[in-house]
Structure 1
Amino acid sequence: MSYTYSHYATPSSLPSDYALLSRYAGAHDMNPTEQDNEVLPDRGASSGLQLDDSDAQHISHTKMRRKSLPTSYVTPSNTTAASLPDNSGYRTVPMASSATENTPLLAPPIPRIEEEVDAQYAVEPERLAPMRWEELKILTKYTLPVFGTHVLEYSLVIASVVSIGHLSTNALAASTLGSMTASVSGFSIIQGFASTLDTMLPSAWTSTQPQLVGLWSQRMAVVMAAVLMPVFFIWFNSESILLLLGQEPEVAYLAAVYLKWSTIGLPAYTFNSISRRYFQSQGLFTVPTRAILCVAPINAVLNYLLVWGPEPIRLGFIGAPIATAISFNLISIASIIYGVFFVPHTAWHPLSRRSFTSLGVLVQLGLAGVGQTASEWWSWELVGLAASMLGPVALATQSVLLVSASTTFQAPFALSVATSVRIGNLLGEENAKRAGVASQVSILMSLCIGLVWSTMFMVFRHSWAYLFNNDPDVVSLVASIIPLVALFQVFDGVAAITSGILRARGKQVTGALLNLSAYYVIGIPFGIWLTFKRHMQLHGLWIGLTISLVYCATVGVWICLRTNWEREVQKVRDRLVAEAQHYKDSFRDPEGLN
């Protein structure tokens, strides 16, 4: 399958098979009586689907039209419903066994993440001003646990660095080099591919086929298994690669040891990236937070025991990566237990050979997601490399500024995750108007968050560096660059939110091109020119980074504000039609490999 891309002018940026279905669907209009005669695929195993050739032609040559939103929240009267507990956060949904040949194939979607506003706008018109306030409260509620998740996950890495940092200078350098190599060659790739689920899962959950959440998660696990093979190869051969890049032999050896032991936790890290989105797409934002909250103190104890603990269990340098790997695996186990025993299985799809189908969609979007995510990660490594050439004071200053900016970035990044989920859910519910409002509100929220961080940096401008270092030269240089960091906060937050909106829409290609052009065509070359040709030193690098984010934020906002949200809803419909067609094929081919 080919990947169709345009600058928001064509009906879809999703794979061409979906676009083709959309063009077929536009051939004829569907009247209400025809819509009622469509067929719903069984939500159990591949059996139970009753589609014949006439039904298939009906799907292919009719344009799906929906009724107004209020009727979208009524359980079809010709199905038997199973009510989940009132406190589960789920709506009443049709049972799989109730599907008959008279059940609509793409029946009106059900808001399975139920908010107070659902009941309200089901019976009365939505007004713009109250809608903005409602979305502000919803996004805030979603963002807080996501922020906690990322901060706690960051603590796993910090604990490793702190425990190793007291061993020796070479050990600290090696762990830093190993962590950087792991980020560039592994973690950024995994996160890029996992970002595809930000497109697929939220809209699937609130659609008429919630089991697609589990199916797409299984398919992503298959794709990730293939992605991990070259990552393992790089990590196990990292010593020769680092030596080839000019690293000191001892540091390269220790960094390679660090990476080899880190491979124990790599599959778990990958699984966690998938399971986190599996839960978040269902509105279960606190599940990953609870899992990491339980594991974080265990990780701290493991780092102490394995690096500095009693002689029988002390492992020294390798204890830190082993502790982190064990922690990642504990998080995976906790997620599995929670998903099996404490979460309704509405989103789960039975394991089958269908998990090995439609992988091309995920690969194409995943590669674009790597371009969007990894390009930004890699740019910071390039800037750090350039800073290391300016001397120890500049390098220490860069470390202070980088840690500071990375910490404050966690808030808008959490908001971007919440925004992706919220917009995806609304698209699945076919609420185009509210999806547009949510995107606008999230951008305004990012501006407010950026202004708070900017104010904080400016207020503590002359004393900020003392949190990290007492060197007067470092303190002075940090104070002189802080105004750039303060300006940086506003545009960094807005760029993060627009990236989340693009992921929700399946526009990873657009996000990748935006980041690549911002960092590698504009920002970094200009910053390096200012640094080394205009002799602006570290100031030049941060000016370049700030210009990159001004460009990203400005263009991203322009793109997001021009979004046709009705078209985005249609793209979700096209995905459902494609999956319905696949259900038909599975019925004819029990192996599900057509």
Structure 2
Amino acid sequence: MHYAAPSSLPSDYAILSRYAGHNGDAHEDDSDAEERERDSLLPPEDEERPGRRSSLPPPFIRPLNPTIAPISARDKSLGPVPTENTPLLNPLVPRIEEEVDAPGHDSETTLSRRVWEEIKILVKYTLPVFGSHVLEYSLVVASVISIGHLSTTALAAATLGSMTASVTGLSIVQGFASALDTMLPSAWTSSEPKLVGLWAQRMAVVMAACLIPILFVWFNAESILLFLKQEPEVAHLAGIYLKWTSIGLPAYMFNSISRRYFQSQGLFTVPTRIIMVVAPINAVLNYFLVWGPKPFSLGFIGAPIATAISFNLISIASIIYGVFFVPRTAWYPISRRSFTSLGILVQLGLSGAAQVCSEWWSWELVGLAASLLGPAALATQSVLLVSASTTFQAPFALSVATSVRVGNLLGEENAKRAGIAANSSLLVTLAIASIASTMFMIFRKSWGHLFNDDPAVVELVASILPLVALFQVFDGLGATTGGILRARGKQFTGAMLNLSGYYLIGIPFGLWLAFKRDMGLAGLWIGLTVSLVFVATIGAYLCLGADWEREVEKVRVRLAADKRAEQRAGAQQHV
């Protein structure tokens, strides 16, 4: 989710545009171009706790409809059958319909068979997630294409505005939303599925509070950019871009919540179906609002307005889908409880924001360093960045699927299956990475021609692609282990890994190689590779050595606290 975030795309295209201008008619100035385990997840029994880059899925994949299974039918590995003395008594437990979760199934199958079963489940979950991310990519691509044909200055302004939006807003939103990867999947398969809706409402409250400082920065962006010595005209247009983009920011926040609301219930195809409808509408809006007839044409501001409208359309469609086409098993009536127990979301959200932002910002920093190496290096950086970003989408989608699957199994108190699912996801990651690595190695000498025909750029791309091929494995593992850590509520651990891997080891090493050892762009990418190796290796070690029984206990205690809070709230209403 770091450098492949949709918001990074304008900078990629702008870099190439400015490079082309440098060698053609434009003549632009290129220089402008845990082991703290988060104990808050374990409230005392007598205390209520308040709480990287940003193929369509086959249309025949049917939604994973939630079902209700008697608790008596649970697998023995899920723990003891509740009695009248069990705090979380509930005769019905929501399940995501998977044959492997049938009672007694694990006792009749070998370990290798269970691994293969989990691989198939993860692939099934990953496909629609991958499709939704690719389609979301198209929203920004349409905007970039529209603005790119106006002028180089307009494209540079959109690039600067998009980068500012990513650094000061979108990365923070995604980081805070990652707290729901911990809370929602386990709540759905627990005895209290309506906690899914309650935690989603609480996150909406937290996100609303985050809106204030983000909007303050966006509406004062021009002054901030001028202070940072940006060109006055570009800074002015970038400020306008951010003001109009802010129309879609609340919807962007809502979509980050609603997507996880659906995915935690196994409804992975819902966000994909919605964005499949909105994506072509976005393309039409970009044409009419930027280049259309005069009554509709708005020029530069038409692109951010089109994107903002598209985000709002996604929000409206999500509400309609959730109200009329999805069972309300997970919904919790809006009440005062929506404004309580926010502490745990703030804690997880801050850690998640640190995890996401540290990764996104590190790639922006590397891009800035590449701009100091000359136009050829800058154009090559764009080619490599777009390439690595594209291949990252598959393991990132897998990380989302893994987070949901592991979280669901923790909510079912199925510790053994949770561990198998986590380890199986690492195997799938290695398979995906091997395909990407092989592709880069086979086509490395001609890969640069997909983006630029300048011999210097093509040659430099070919010389660095082996490094990109090498870190595909570690980049994918880093994404997948991040999903496992989110399912376990260890965003803080992920944040510390990223901060240490990128800012203490990889980036300083890469800068030293690039500028002190005169290795240029290759030195920067060696530093990035070292960062990814560190993050992936430590992350895999933490995931392979996880105590899944303890993770189940953490979920059980957290849900028990919510149950007691619900009982107290009900008692107060009765009085």
Interval containing the TM-score (normalised by the shorter chain): 0.7 to 0.9
Give yes or no for contact 2:197–2:330 (8 Å, CA) kept in 1. Answer: yes
What's the secondary structure of 1:90's corresponding residue? strand
**Equivalences for residues 67-78 of structure 1 within 5 A:** none
Distance in 1 (alpha carbons) for counterparts of 2:64 and 2:508: 54
Distance in 2 (alpha carbons) for counterparts of 1:174 and 1:93: 58
Distance in 1 (alpha carbons) for counterparts of 2:106 and 2:417: 16
1:90 matched to 2:52? The reply is no
**Equivalences for residues 299-310 of structure 1 within 5 A:** 299-310=282-293
Deviations 1:298-327 (A, max 9, x none): 000110111111111100000000000000
Q: Which amino acid aligns with 1:7?
A: E
Task: Please report how far the alpha carbon of residue 127 of structure 1 lies from its aligned counterpart in structure 2 after TM superposition.
Answer: 2.7
The equivalent of 1:80 in structure 2 is none
1:276 to 256, 259, 263: 259
Task: Please report how far the alpha carbon of residue 590 of structure 1 lies from its aligned counterpart in structure 2 after TM superposition.
Answer: 3.4
Q: Which amino acid aligns with 2:280?
A: P
1:587 to 567, 570, 573: 570
The equivalent of 1:453 in structure 2 is 436
Give yes or no for contact 2:278–2:314 (8 Å, CA) kept in 1. Answer: yes
Deviations 1:143-202 (A, max 9, x none): 000000000001101110111001000001111111111110110000000000000000
Distance in 2 (alpha carbons) for counterparts of 1:302 and 1:277: 27
1:184 matched to 2:167? The reply is yes
Distance in 2 (alpha carbons) for counterparts of 1:172 and 1:487: 33
Give yes or no for contact 1:19–1:574 (8 Å, CA) kept in 2. Answer: yes
1:20 matched to 2:44? The reply is yes
The equivalent of 1:392 in structure 2 is 375
Give yes or no for contact 2:66–2:265 (8 Å, CA) kept in 1. Answer: no
The equivalent of 2:87 in structure 1 is 105
Distance in 1 (alpha carbons) for counterparts of 2:65 and 2:177: 26
Give yes or no for contact 1:111–1:118 (8 Å, CA) kept in 2. Answer: no
What's the secondary structure of 1:15's corresponding residue? helix
Q: Which amino acid aligns with 1:113?
A: I
1:196 matched to 2:221? The reply is no
Distance in 2 (alpha carbons) for counterparts of 1:498 and 1:544: 21
Distance in 2 (alpha carbons) for counterparts of 1:87 and 1:217: 20
Give yes or no for contact 1:353–1:591 (8 Å, CA) kept in 2. Answer: no
The equivalent of 2:450 in structure 1 is 467
1:175 to 152, 158, 162: 158
Q: Which amino acid aligns with 2:490?
A: K
1:442 to 425, 433, 457: 425
The 1:165/1:466 distance shift into structure 2, 3 A limit, reads same
The equivalent of 1:7 in structure 2 is 35
Deviations 1:401-456 (A, max 9, x none): 11111111000000000000000000000110010001111011111111100000
TM-score, normalization: structure 2?
Answer: 0.87
What's the secondary structure of 1:573's corresponding residue? helix
What's the secondary structure of 2:44's corresponding residue? helix
The 1:307/1:103 distance shift into structure 2, 3 A limit, reads farther
Q: Which amino acid aligns with 1:91?
A: I
Distance in 2 (alpha carbons) for counterparts of 1:294 and 1:591: 45
Structure 2, unaligned runs of 5 or more: 1-33, 50-62, 72-82
What's the secondary structure of 2:153's corresponding residue? helix
1:502 to 463, 467, 485: 485
**Equivalences for residues 357-506 of structure 1 within 5 A:** 357-506=340-489
Q: Which amino acid aligns with 2:266?
A: G
The equivalent of 2:208 in structure 1 is 225
Distance in 2 (alpha carbons) for counterparts of 1:119 and 1:441: 19
Distance in 2 (alpha carbons) for counterparts of 1:104 and 1:522: 49
Q: Which moved more, 1:116-125 or 1:331-340?
A: 116-125
Give yes or no for contact 1:14–1:506 (8 Å, CA) kept in 2. Answer: no
Deviations 1:181-231 (A, max 9, x none): 111011000000000000000000000000000000000000000001100
Q: Which amino acid aligns with 2:521?
A: L
Structure 1, unaligned runs of 5 or more: 1-5, 25-55, 61-85, 95-100
Q: Which moved more, 1:114-123 or 1:288-297?
A: 114-123
1:292 to 270, 275, 278: 275
Q: Which amino acid aligns with 1:504?
A: A
| Identity across the alignment (%) | 70
Distance in 2 (alpha carbons) for counterparts of 1:115 and 1:310: 52
Q: Which amino acid aligns with 1:90?
A: T
Task: Please report how far the alpha carbon of residue 568 of structure 1 lies from its aligned counterpart in structure 2 after TM superposition.
Answer: 0.3
Distance in 2 (alpha carbons) for counterparts of 1:231 and 1:297: 29
The equivalent of 2:235 in structure 1 is 252
What's the secondary structure of 1:91's corresponding residue? strand
Distance in 2 (alpha carbons) for counterparts of 1:361 and 1:113: 26
Q: Which amino acid aligns with 2:270?
A: V
The equivalent of 1:348 in structure 2 is 331
Flag the structure with larger Rg. Answer: 1
Give yes or no for contact 2:64–2:268 (8 Å, CA) kept in 1. Answer: no
Task: Please report how far the alpha carbon of residue 133 of structure 1 lies from its aligned counterpart in structure 2 after TM superposition.
Answer: 0.7
Task: Please report how far the alpha carbon of residue 562 of structure 1 lies from its aligned counterpart in structure 2 after TM superposition.
Answer: 0.8
Q: Which amino acid aligns with 2:156?
A: A
RCO higher in structure (CA 8 A, sep ≥6): 2
What's the secondary structure of 1:375's corresponding residue? helix
Give yes or no for contact 1:397–1:477 (8 Å, CA) kept in 2. Answer: yes
The equivalent of 2:17 in structure 1 is none
1:554 matched to 2:537? The reply is yes
Distance in 2 (alpha carbons) for counterparts of 1:397 and 1:409: 18
Give yes or no for contact 2:94–2:193 (8 Å, CA) kept in 1. Answer: no
Q: Which amino acid aligns with 1:106?
A: L
1:313 to 296, 300, 325: 296
Distance in 1 (alpha carbons) for counterparts of 2:416 and 2:216: 47
Deviations 1:38-91 (A, max 9, x none): xxxxxxxxxxxxxxxxxx9xx99xxxxxxxxxxxxxxxxxxxxxxxxx984412
What's the secondary structure of 2:192's corresponding residue? coil
Distance in 2 (alpha carbons) for counterparts of 1:532 and 1:590: 67
Give yes or no for contact 1:202–1:425 (8 Å, CA) kept in 2. Answer: yes
Give yes or no for contact 1:299–1:323 (8 Å, CA) kept in 2. Answer: yes
Distance in 2 (alpha carbons) for counterparts of 1:155 and 1:19: 43
Distance in 2 (alpha carbons) for counterparts of 1:239 and 1:569: 49
